[in-house]
Amino acid sequence: MGGVAGAQVHDQDLANRNGAAVDGRAGVCDPCAPSLPCASGGGAMDGPLGIPASHGEGSLAGRHALTEGTPARPAAWRGAVRTACDRLAPAWSQGAAAVVNPYFGLRHLDFEVAGVTLARVAGSPLTMPRRYYREQVASGRITRGDIAEALKAHGLPSDEGSVARLLMHDGAPPVQRLPLVSHVWQRIDAPTPWAAFCVERISQFAAAYFDAGQAAWPLPWRDEPLYEAWRGFARLDASPRAMGLKGVADIVAGLPRRPLASIALVLKTLAIPDAHVVDYCHAALLDIGGWATRVADRPRARGVDADPTDIEQLLAIRLAWEFIVFRAVPGSRLEVAWQTALASLPSLPATRMTPDVQVDSVLQAALELGYRRRIVADLAACGERPDRHAGQGRVAVQAVFCMHNRVEVFRRALETVAPWIQTLGFSGFCALAFARAPFVEAVAPVTPSVRPKGPGADLEHRAAITDADRGAMAAALLRGMSLADGLARLVLLIDHGPSSAHRPQDAGSGPSEYRIGELDAPMVAAWLNDRALRARLAQEGVAIPADTRFVAARYDGAHDEVAVLDTGPWELSHAQDLRDTRAALEGAGARTREERARAPVSPVLASHLASAPAGARTPERSRAAADPEFVGNAAFIAAPRARTEGMALDGRAFLHDYAWRRDADFRILRYIMTTPMMAAYWMNMRYYASVVDHKRFGGGNKALHNAVGGCVGVLEGAGGDLRNGLPIQSLFDGRHWLHEPLRLNAFVEAPRARIDEVLAGHEIVRSVVEHGWLFLFQMDSEAGGLFLRARDGRWGQLS
């Protein structure tokens, strides 16, 4: 997308991208069309489990007249605007797609209530379609016992009759979503895709405004604040006239110059009821959710806290398009239809669970109980066991893997082919406090006439990280890895990253979630091999044997290979160790690929994964299959490796080594629960959202991705909203879902009182646990058993 204003929009392309107005999968109906009225839900009809439908939810609240006398309340609306903006999570860079939780802004709501909110605001589902759960029941993945237990947990009848009625129910009726003016007019003026057109024009502008060097013709207003730049762009944009909207330039010129004043004008003109202002702004942002989440993390304009943030300015732009359509459409048909749409809104937004939402919640809980039952039984059977390396003298090689669910299979294979290697899991390589500043090639004078002088011009006088800081960071890393003592002769520090070129995120057009920490393991290895740093570590109480060498390596999760990186000038002293280790890594890779090929989740991929040298597949950019990345993730386990050694976790668990008896002040526990566990939760929610609501939170078809603005993101095709999620090829093989949408099960081996202390001191962690976004378990190594923390803060024993 190199150009800027004035591009014509092809009607058929927009219609194809916009899709049908009624989403049959999500059961969503737009209340905007008089010919397609939504069920009001105000009757006394019982739900599928005999639960009375809530009275008043969906009832008419009277007509909201569009009068100029409607009082404007900018001060009150500002708080509503910020509340709506806070509901969206930041997307960061395009390469960090796997670690972005699109539901983060709803964490203060119970999981089920968040589902009601998303359905009400945007018609978005938070669970899978009913047919998916019926398929899981038919295959035996969900048992009737799972359903009965889920019904009981929701306080519903769990007898055989209730289970049978639940399975027979065919799906939810259409959900009434909040209307937008552009959607209303699109239903009247079909087949013109007005909603998609508004998104298209905003996307074209945003791509030019945030361009990082791809556009051949830069946007003239890039130095202006976002909203002011859009006003300049929109006044010259010829596309609305081509679509039949006249006088748009004059309408834009008449908008207030301040974004919040513009928002207030739109809310007043459209007579949005006070009770629905937050939801209306939220719906408008979700309509351009790709760009909204991308700008959500940007600093406030000009660095002044009082100025509107970029996401607030983007909201002003999206609402301005509502105003443009409302004013530019001739005649009274749109105004009458808009009044009808407003009249269909209830007096207050519905937040209670309807019977159909309860059914979906029960089925999702049953799916999760099926997985939980197996992993809890396996963990309980293993119990606390001694480390197999204990009492056998010094370990020859230690391999520390960065936390990745697919690594679990590789670690198990490596321990089988090379029992003399001790494997550990750790998340922290990419938490080091340094940034990469690559050299930039540019034409420059060879012999400049002016040479800089002063201390800052000489690198000798600039220490980016002091020796004291390096020592403290290195000591914390070794303690976090449980390697403050007992170090082997050879220690591998293995981060993870693809060798793929199949996505713009991995092909050098921008940072990847893997490339965020691609220099961390080599940097840590270099530090820990430094004699001066080792002397400082000894002062910190961490002694590294003189013959211990640290080596950086990289795990390629797409092909299950570990490549040892630069080993340094000392390689001769550890030549045999390196040869044996490389051979073991190759054997483990082959064994891992064989296991994945036998996995029943996707027969279509079996032969593809089993093919031998995996690296031969790497450079094929046209290959449709995407890299698996974190597919299948469902659990996080922080415990000694002895707890899980030998367990076949199927590459679905993030493993983080942790021995609480060696954590005197429980600082490591606090780090694990606030950083690695939460990172796993964010990755889990990203995959969950990309499956249950791929239309809104997924990445679309990878084959159609086009990079935007250099490293800003991707579009699906030539336009539409930014696609920040995971491509469908990473999640679905054409016949089977590769990822099972489950909320994360986090298991921590530590005293319950200490876990509760961490929760009490960290609101975000406590919130996701107590509102049902993450299931937290304690593994009791003293009394035995596993305990689940309920939403009310009480612990219940499972085994």
Q: Which of 559, 582, 597 is the last residue of a domain?
A: 597
Residue 605 in any domain: the answer is no
Q: Is 788 helix (H, G, I), strand (E, B) or coil?
A: strand
Segment 180-189, tens digit of pLDDT: 999 999 999 8
pLDDT tens digits for range 575-614: 899 999 999 999 999 999 999 888 755 444 444 444 444 4
Q: For the segment 767-787, what is each residue's pLDDT rounded down to a tens digit?
A: 999 999 999 999 998 777 899
Q: Contact at 8 Å (CB) between 125 and 26?
A: yes
- Within a domain: 178: no
Shared-domain flag, residues 642 and 700: yes
The whole-number pLDDT of residue 267 equals: 96
* Average pLDDT, integer, range 631-655: 93
Q: Give the HSE-up count for residue 78: Cα atoms under 13 Å, Cβ half-sphere.
A: 10
Mean per-residue pLDDT, 548-566: 90
Which string of b and e fits 377-403 if b means at least 16 CB within 10 Å?
Answer: eebeebeeeeeebeeeeebbbbbbbbb
Residues 644 and 519 in one domain: no
Q: Could you tell me which residues are beta bridge partners of residue 478?
A: none
C-beta separation of 674 from 776 below 8 A:
no
Q: Is 161 inside a domain boundary?
A: no
Structural domains counted in the chain: 3
452: confidence class by pLDDT, cuts 50, 70, 90: low
Average pLDDT for 183-206: 93
Query: In this predicted model, what pLDDT tens digit does every residue of 271-311 receive, in sequence order?
Result: 999 999 999 999 999 999 999 998 987 754 344 454 678 99
Per-residue pLDDT, averaged over 328-344, amounts to 93
Report pLDDT for 434. 65
Position of tokens 């737009």? 30
Please, which pLDDT band fits residue 447 given cuts at 50, 70 and 90? low
Question: How far, CA to CA in Å, does 308 sit from each of 2, 78, 316, 737?
Answer: 28, 10, 10, 41
Q: Which stretch of 291-305, 309-323, 340-354, 715-729 has the lowest confidence by average pLDDT?
A: 291-305
User: What is the 3-class SS of 324-360, one letter each residue?
Assistant: HHHHHCCCCHHHHHHHHHHHCCCCCCCCCCCHHHHHH
Mean pLDDT of 149-174: 77
Given a cut of 80, is residue 548 above it in pLDDT? yes
Amino acid letter, residue 581: T
Domain membership flag for residue 88: yes
Distance CA 488, CA 398 (A): 6
Residue 391 is predicted with a pLDDT of 64
Bridging pattern class, strands 775-779 and 795-797:
unpaired
Residues 6+ apart with CB under 8 A from 333: 188
CATH of the domain at 494: 3.40.1050
**Average pLDDT, integer, range 787-795:** 96
The crossing angle, in degrees rounded to 10, of helices 130-139 and 355-382 is 40
Tell me the three state secondary structure of residue 486: coil
Which residues pair with residue 397 across a beta bridge?
421, 490
CA 634 to chain CA centroid, nearest Å: 14
- Do 542 and 409 share a structural domain? yes
- pLDDT score at 203: 96
pLDDT at 357: 82
Comparing CA positions, the residue from 733, 736, 735, 701 lying closest to residue 716 is 701
Quickly state the pLDDT bin for 356 (edges 50, 70, 90): confident
The dihedral of CA 780, 675, 713, 623: what is its sign? Answer: negative
- Position 430 scores a pLDDT of 60
Lowest mean pLDDT among 107-121, 240-254, 576-590, 714-728: 714-728
What pLDDT is stored for residue 462 in this prediction? 57
Q: Dump pLDDT digits (tens) for 81-93.
A: 999 999 998 876 6
Question: CA angle 594-598-601, nearest 5°?
Answer: 130
Long-range contacts of 296-304 (CB under 8 A, 24+ apart): 296/85, 296/88, 296/89, 296/90, 296/91, 297/90, 297/91, 297/92, 301/225, 301/226, 302/225
Question: How far apart (Å, rounded) are the C-alpha atoms in residues 290 and 720?
Answer: 10
Range in 208-222, 317-331, 411-425, 609-623 with the lowest mean pLDDT:
609-623
- Both 794 and 721 in one domain: the answer is yes
Helix (H, G, I), strand (E, B) or coil at 242: helix
299-303, 444-448, 452-456, 500-504: lowest mean pLDDT where? 299-303
Report yes or no on 426 lying in a domain. yes
pLDDT higher at 352 or 399: 399
Do the bridges between strand 549-556 and strand 490-496 make them parallel or antiparallel, or are there none, so unpaired? parallel
Residues 570 and 641 in one domain: no
582 plus 635 within the same structural domain: no
Q: How far apart are CA 207 and CA 1, in angstroms?
A: 7
Cα 425 to Cα 401, 418, 564, 686: the distances in Å are 5, 17, 17, 22
Q: State whether 583 and 648 are in the same domain.
A: no
Q: How far is CA 708 from the centre of its chain?
A: 20
What is each CA distance from 565 to 552, 562, 751, in whole angstroms?
Answer: 6, 9, 39
What is the predicted pLDDT for the residue at 625?
57
Residue 155: how many other CB atoms lie within 10 Å: 8
The pLDDT value given to residue 545: 94
Contacts of 463 (CB under 8 A, 6+ apart): none
3-class SS of residue 551: strand
Sequence-distant (≥ 6) Cβ neighbours of residue 429 within 8 angstroms: 402, 493, 495, 517, 520, 521, 524
pLDDT, average across residues 192-208: 94
Structure tokens at 60: 């008419």
Burial state string for 534-556 with b = 16 or more CB within 10 A and e = fewer than 16: bebbeebebebeeebbbbbbbbb
Is residue 453 over pLDDT 70?
no
CA distance 55 to 46: 11
- Shared domain for 671 and 709, answered yes or no, is yes
* Identity of the amino acid at 386: P
Average pLDDT score over residue span 356-374: 92
492: part of which helix (H) or strand (E)? strand 490-496
Q: For residue 798, tell me if it sits in a domain.
A: yes
pLDDT of 20: 34
User: Is residue 417 classed as helix, strand or coil in its secondary structure?
Assistant: helix
Residue 55, Cβ neighbours under 10 Å: how many? 11
| Among candidate residues 563, 597, 631, the one where a domain is terminated | 597
240 and 292 share one domain: yes
Instruction: For residue 457, give every residue at least 6 positions away whose Cβ sits within 8 Å of its Cβ, in sequence order, or none.
Output: none
Provide mean pLDDT across the span 641-665: 92
Q: Which residue in the block uniquely carries the two structure tokens 């008089």? A: 34
Q: Above 70 in pLDDT, residue 3?
A: no
Instruction: Give mean pLDDT, residues 147-164.
Output: 84
Residue 369 forms part of a structural domain: no
pLDDT at position 170 is 67
- The last residue of one of the domains, among 328, 352, 380, is 328
Query: Any idea what DSSP says for residue 444?
Result: -
Tokens of 363: 């089925």
Provide the H-helix boundaries in 615-693: 667-674, 676-692
User: In sequence order, what DSSP letters do the residues of 456-502 get, joined into one string?
Assistant: GGSGGG--SS-HHHHHHHHHHHHHHTT-SS---SEEEEEEE-----S
Determine contact, residues 276/264, Cβ cutoff 8 Å: no
When pLDDT is averaged across residues 10-27 and rounded to a whole number, the result is 35
Q: How far apart are CA 31 and CA 38, in angstroms?
A: 6
- Given a cut of 50, is residue 1 above it in pLDDT? no
Task: Give burial (CB, 10 Å; 0-12/13-18/19+) of 709.
Answer: buried
CA 614 vs CA 405, 456, 590: distances in Å: 19, 48, 9
CA dihedral 144, 147, 149, 150 (to 10 degrees): 170
pLDDT for the residue 28 = 36
State which amino acid sits at residue 582. Answer: R
Q: Are residues 410 and 495 in the same domain?
A: yes
Answer whether residue 626 shows pLDDT above 70: no
- Tell me how many degrees the CA angle 8-14-19 measures, rounded to the nearest 5: 175
pLDDT confidence band for 359 (50 / 70 / 90): confident
Distance set, CA 293 to CA 86, 103, 204, 425, 430 (Å): 10, 11, 16, 31, 23
Over 50: is that where the pLDDT of 17 sits?
no
Shared-domain flag, residues 306 and 404: no
pLDDT at 516: 47
Tens of pLDDT along 488-518?
Answer: 999 999 988 765 555 665 543 333 343 445 6
Q: In what order do the strands lie in the sheet with 549-556?
A: 421-426, 397-402, 490-496, 549-556, 561-564
Main-chain phi, psi angles of 747, to 5 degrees: -110, 125
pLDDT recorded at residue 794: 96
Residue 733 falls inside a structural domain: yes
Domain of residue 518 covers: 394-435+465-597
- Mean model confidence pLDDT for the chain: 81
Q: Are residues 585 and 675 in the same domain?
A: no
Q: Is the peptide bond before 545 cis (omega within 30 degrees of 0)?
A: no
Q: Which two tokens stand for residue 770?
A: 């107590």
d(CA 703, CA 616): 21
